[in-house]
Structure 1
């Protein structure tokens, strides 16, 4: 009942007020940079006490900061991160018709929403250098559909800035009321704050008016985060690319894990790591041939030995022995005149059963010298 009365009163006083949301600033802790005095009755809390029918300085319903200051700052702590729609500011008027006598002090103000007490960490909801005299009016509504804990009012007069001539020399808070309308729990939206944000909204944060997510959890995209990442993408905002996944190249849309293993030459959950030395193929499950000329060095995709084959072996993967009659590195040498045809040691070419008549040497490749003949050239003419 109390809330309904306040809303009805605000509509009469301030035509743009909407009563659908909660005034989250009411009676919350407030702070200002400089009080008017130590015993000032115009402390920071006066701007959130729900009273602003008397906007004269003796009405005891407005906060007033110290005189002759180059900066003025005030903030309210909403208690937790909440979903904000808009902010109403009612500045001091001394109960005179608008524009009142203090618009020049109000001119050029800033409004921030932050998750910390530092305005620099927050979102700038409003700032404008007013160029028209007698602006801004003392009643302001600022649309600021963001999430945050602190609403910060700030104004300044810098020595390095040339302001319009009607601006005051100094700045003051002089806030009779600051209302922050929104939903007290950030995971809800709508005029009655009873609609849950879509389930895939990051930190359950969504627009207080439309329910559109203000960011998606990893693996999803779209205004309401209802669309999974497209093929071969994953993660936050679907900006990460899948690794070398097998089959269609798809990976888990949330964490990037390859669902069906890795393509040739890659390993790991995300298939983003090259095969270790000595391994190749899909998910690096195969061993390089032990007969690679450079031990265990092979192409990580197809197993081809990078330095050729060891003596006695052939083919790209060096897994087949030399054909009969061949031996040595990559099987590129021919056996000599062995006694049993072309049979020789496939590694060093030594004839296993001696040489054919008329030849000698370890490889049986030396013709008997003149005057000698027979096996191993032992016969003499």
Structure 2
């Protein structure tokens, strides 16, 4: 008995984006191999005629997914005179075997027996488990000329393609993000079901870690980079080097004992109270300097006190010498005044005045010499 409608089901236990009736090839997108090959398939009714009963398997639904496509004829008829049976067909994608919950991907309203192709490509960006081929010839409905009287499902081969690894979306033209497992990028919306690789976060794993963070889930904190904007969001490497006092790729290691500064290349002073025990950033000695040395880094010798003492000693010596010289000059000048024959009063007054003036002059000279 021939029914007024026919349904062919193909069960695909994976994501479905692209499928074809008879054969599918989409060359512009990033697709991978046929995922319908050898998958479970069944049909509402199987065509049987007594003379073919010994070979009844030739009409089983599994023939549509066996990968044999070299012969597109039916019953040895090379003229392909059964195209009228395809006219008006529909293709659905669904998560059940019911059309009611499925998505209509294609409905033929235009093909004729002469225009329907032997190989038909259909693009359908849909997520589902079943591909359903449906056709009908309902009582009381007038169909266009060329349509067969009854409905058949005579599919030579049905192939289903999903996006290749690393691609998703309509026509598989979108690139997946940095998924931890690239094979787990959804071909529908690009979400990474197993999370992101190091350095990225959010559902599509296309967003880099914020400045100052890196690693898986961006949970790691960058070290003492000279510029956090150049801390690698993947492994924390400081691309522009470290702040003074730190070293290593991640700039998380303090300088070794005895070294400090940029790149830890500068040596601490050996004149620190504890030799070469200094701050790893500034080089300042932690416990002060040894005797005779000063400054934060203990590189300055203590000369100031000794210079001041030498200056005082020199001044005292000069003053003593000047005082010895001043009395001799004064006696000579007084004797000369006595021999001039002036009166005693004038002589004494003159001597006192002369001695006093000379003393004032010598005091000034002595003061200037000390200065």
TM class, shorter-chain normalised?
0.3 to 0.5
> Which structure is higher in strand share?
1
What's the TM-score, normalizing by structure 2?
0.42
Q: Higher RCO, 1 or 2 (CA under 8 Å, sep at least 6)?
A: 2
What's the TM-score, normalizing by structure 1?
0.41
> Which structure is higher in helix share?
2
